[in-house]
Structure 1
Amino acid sequence: MPLLRFDPSGSINADFGVTEEQIAGLSGILGELRTEIVEIDPKQYQSGQVPANKQPLDARFFWLPEEQLAAYEADRGASELGRIFQVANGIHNELDAVAVLGIGGSYMGARAMMEACCDPYHNELTRGDRGSKPRMYFEGNNVDNDASNALLHRLNTGGYGATEAEKRFAIVVISKSGGTMETAVAFRQFLASLETSLGEQAAEQLGRFVIPVTGSSGKLHELASAIGCEQVFSVPEGVGGRFSVLSPVGLMPAAMLGLDCMKLLEGAVAMNEHFKNAAYQENVVLQYVAVNHLLAKHRNKSIRVMSVWSKALEAVGLWHDQLLAESNGKDGLGVTPLTTVNTRDLHSRHQQHQQGRNDKVFNNLIVENYRTDPLSVGHSGRNQDLLDDLADRTLPAIMGAAIKGTNDALHQDGRPTTDILLPGVDTYVLGQLFQMLMIATVVEGRLLGVNPYGQPGVEQYKQNMNKNLGRG
């Protein structure tokens, strides 16, 4: 199966970008960092002998895909992946909607997979057109009164038919500790609504329709026991929230949507093998890090724009925003990530990007092959729109012209670009992309001299919020 590709040619320019010599100059240090991630981190993590400057060492995400596939191969239904499949396949005939409650890395990966791989209007399709897979909604990522009320109402309204299943919903609640305010509050509210909706069956059924993904201890783990949840899945030790998309955190919602989780993990394994074995010049992870790091260091490109050329990948960009910002935005260092969706945002942000402050690099995320047949402009008996000359052109062809035209315009103004080329959009390619960006983030953090794991700056707002609520 094809691997995604990285083309940095739009940044190889002595006047406004980087040079081949500069990229080659990083081969030594990046090779050392590759060895650290592949060989040293696993040994330190597994032995518990972690140097102070590397604590926390949440490095397990790197070998987790292989670990989960091996466990499934050995134990099938007894493995955690096997249990995920059993729950997802066993429950979808009994319900029509799922509320995924989580914040940050606890939901952004699942949302990215849904938007990338499902029909764009999945939640509006009939149950039959969804293949009996549930509608899926995401909450617990805010404390927005109107949004929470609206979703509670929507879930209690039921589906688009009159079957018993279309009257029911389930909750997937994701939190390692259960102590995150936004998710904990939402869980209390949505749990009460679910319990009411089950009526006389609540005592017997509530534990079946609440699926926690949490740590081995903590508030949510205790709540799961009190509720009597039939299945509790783990947020793996040694995996930080923003690195957890390929764990049960992302796999449980993905499996409920009927997405191919095996291919997702296999794609991540393929990227791991590429990262470990590909020569520096062909290594997409190391080349991506080298170009972006050099642009930040030598060209002051402090804003890193992921220009997504597919609406389906917007949530992937937002997932990456959190990954990069929370990992490397420390000690006064790190770039600011920003996601744009084109061609939509060519009519909003692009004016500033083209002629405003020249402090950005544009990493284009481009889909080479679409899932559906190309849609042509079409012939019409009315040419007041002056489109007859384009009647036989397709939307992918117009998109290609827009991509080239935008890159050319940016280069003409001395603004660097790169292209991440996806052979298509499916779980295998997404697994590659997730793993590539996670590894690249760790490599770059180490190159900057910061620990890419942990997020001490996030704790301050939590402490202040609790203080403002009179909770000490």
Structure 2
Amino acid sequence: LVTSIGAINCDLSQQAARLGFHQALRVPGNLQDGFDLLTPTGLLSSAFLGLDCIQLLVGAAAINENFRNEPFSTNLVLRFVASSLQRHHLFAWWARSLAAFTPWMATFQSHTNAADLAAVTERDRVFEQIEEGALDPRDLVCNHIHVDDIRTDPLVIQPRHAGPFAADDQSADANPTQQARTVGEIQDRVAVAAGQKLSNIGIRQNKIVLPVIDTHSLGQFIQLMMLSAVVRPAMRGADHFPR
């Protein structure tokens, strides 16, 4: 089995057809860079990974339906774009497995900063750039990406001072910051603290919450990002837009 993947009537598909291999996956020729993620090119690699490609498309279709038919007050794409018209976009991937989206988004959103503000070293680096004047907070927007129901291993972090007699130390119970906490609880506290610091220096923030990490939710997120990238230049150039 030989299947060509490319634009309609591209040289590869024509050569394959002459050899008797007529099956082809068509990719619209006007799509560039990361916008081909939900085309046969991107879906084929997703299928090789065992993902449910149908649900990726169903999720994307739900965003399309919302974008076409909903007014501004309930239109996810328009509301996200209107709240993120700043020149540079930062992301904080609090669901760490989603951080892999960063290089993909950079392919079609040149204004996306590669820094991940959920990572302490990258967050500190951005703060240093702001303090040095290399970045203007007024030109920045940070999109926090959360997942409601996310799997975390039942790993409990003990206080740094914990020892064989820590259980008898009543003072540890009096200070909740010294009690054992799960990784998820620690991450939530860090997210709140990071958001407060961003707010203090005047950086606008958005919060996107996926219910779970599954192919349907990922399809929605992918389509939301791609449609926003297309709509944003038009809204940024408008004299006014709904708030």
Q: Does 1:446 align with 2:234?
A: yes
Query: Could you tell me whether the CA contact under 8 Å between 1:354 and 1:410 is conserved in 2?
Result: no
**SS of equivalent to 2:5:** strand
CA shift at 1:401, angstroms?
0.8
Distance verdict in 2 for CA 1:447–1:231, change over 3 Å: same
CA shift at 1:275, angstroms?
1.9
Q: TM-score, normalised by structure 2?
A: 0.77
Distance verdict in 2 for CA 1:269–1:360, change over 3 Å: same
Distance verdict in 2 for CA 1:256–1:360, change over 3 Å: same
Pick aligned residue for 1:236 from 18, 24, 28? 28
For residues 93-104 of structure 1, the aligned pairs below 5 Å read none
CA shift at 1:284, angstroms?
2.1
Specify the alignment match of 2:181 in structure 1. 393
**SS of equivalent to 2:149:** coil
**SS of equivalent to 1:409:** helix
**SS of equivalent to 2:157:** coil
Query: Could you tell me whether the CA contact under 8 Å between 1:265 and 1:428 is conserved in 2?
Result: yes
Q: Does 1:306 align with 2:91?
A: yes
Structure that is richer in helix per residue? 1
Pick aligned residue for 1:340 from 115, 120, 126? 115
CA shift at 1:312, angstroms?
1.6
- RMSD of Structure 2 on Structure 1 (CA): 3.1
Specify the alignment match of 2:210 in structure 1. 422
Specify the alignment match of 2:147 in structure 1. 367
CA shift at 1:307, angstroms?
2.3
Specify the alignment match of 2:43 in structure 1. 251
Pick aligned residue for 1:377 from 154, 157, 161? 157
Specify the code of the residue in structure 2 equivalent to 1:415.
Answer: I
Specify the alignment match of 1:431 in structure 2. 219
For residues 217-232 of structure 1, the aligned pairs below 5 Å read 217-222=9-14, 224=16, 231-232=23-24
**SS of equivalent to 2:90:** strand
Specify the code of the residue in structure 1 equivalent to 2:25.
Answer: F
Query: Could you tell me whether the CA contact under 8 Å between 1:374 and 1:396 is conserved in 2?
Result: no
CA shift at 1:232, angstroms?
2.8
CA deviation digits over 1:195-251, x for unaligned, max 9? xxxxxxxxxxxxx4x653212333433554577768431113554443221111111
Pick aligned residue for 1:276 from 68, 77, 86? 68
CA deviation digits over 1:329-370, x for unaligned, max 9? xxxxxxx21133322444652333553432322112222221
Identity %: 29
**SS of equivalent to 2:190:** helix
CA shift at 1:395, angstroms?
1.1
Specify the alignment match of 1:321 in structure 2. 106
**SS of equivalent to 2:61:** helix
Separation (CA, whole Å) in 2 of partners of 1:433 and 1:347 = 23
CA shift at 1:443, angstroms?
1.4
CA shift at 1:403, angstroms?
0.9
Runs (5+) with no aligned partner, structure 2? 167-171, 239-243
Separation (CA, whole Å) in 2 of partners of 1:352 and 1:211 = 50
Specify the alignment match of 1:349 in structure 2. 125
Separation (CA, whole Å) in 1 of partners of 2:206 and 2:130 = 15
Q: Does 1:410 align with 2:198?
A: yes
Residues matched between the structures, number: 223
Separation (CA, whole Å) in 2 of partners of 1:381 and 1:229 = 68
CA shift at 1:437, angstroms?
1.3
For residues 124-163 of structure 1, the aligned pairs below 5 Å read none
CA shift at 1:279, angstroms?
3.2
Specify the code of the residue in structure 2 equivalent to 1:264.
Answer: L
Separation (CA, whole Å) in 2 of partners of 1:213 and 1:371 = 36
CA deviation digits over 1:267-292, x for unaligned, max 9? 11111222233332232211111122
CA shift at 1:420, angstroms?
1.4
Query: Could you tell me whether the CA contact under 8 Å between 1:377 and 1:390 is conserved in 2?
Result: no
Distance verdict in 2 for CA 1:219–1:230, change over 3 Å: closer
Query: Could you tell me whether the CA contact under 8 Å between 2:33 and 2:107 is conserved in 1?
Result: no
Separation (CA, whole Å) in 1 of partners of 2:54 and 2:95 = 24
CA shift at 1:264, angstroms?
0.7
CA shift at 1:374, angstroms?
4.5
Separation (CA, whole Å) in 2 of partners of 1:280 and 1:260 = 31
Distance verdict in 2 for CA 1:367–1:227, change over 3 Å: farther
Bigger drift between 256-265 and 220-229 goes to 220-229
Bigger drift between 367-376 and 391-400 goes to 367-376
Separation (CA, whole Å) in 1 of partners of 2:52 and 2:123 = 36
Structure that is richer in strand per residue? 2
Specify the alignment match of 2:169 in structure 1. none
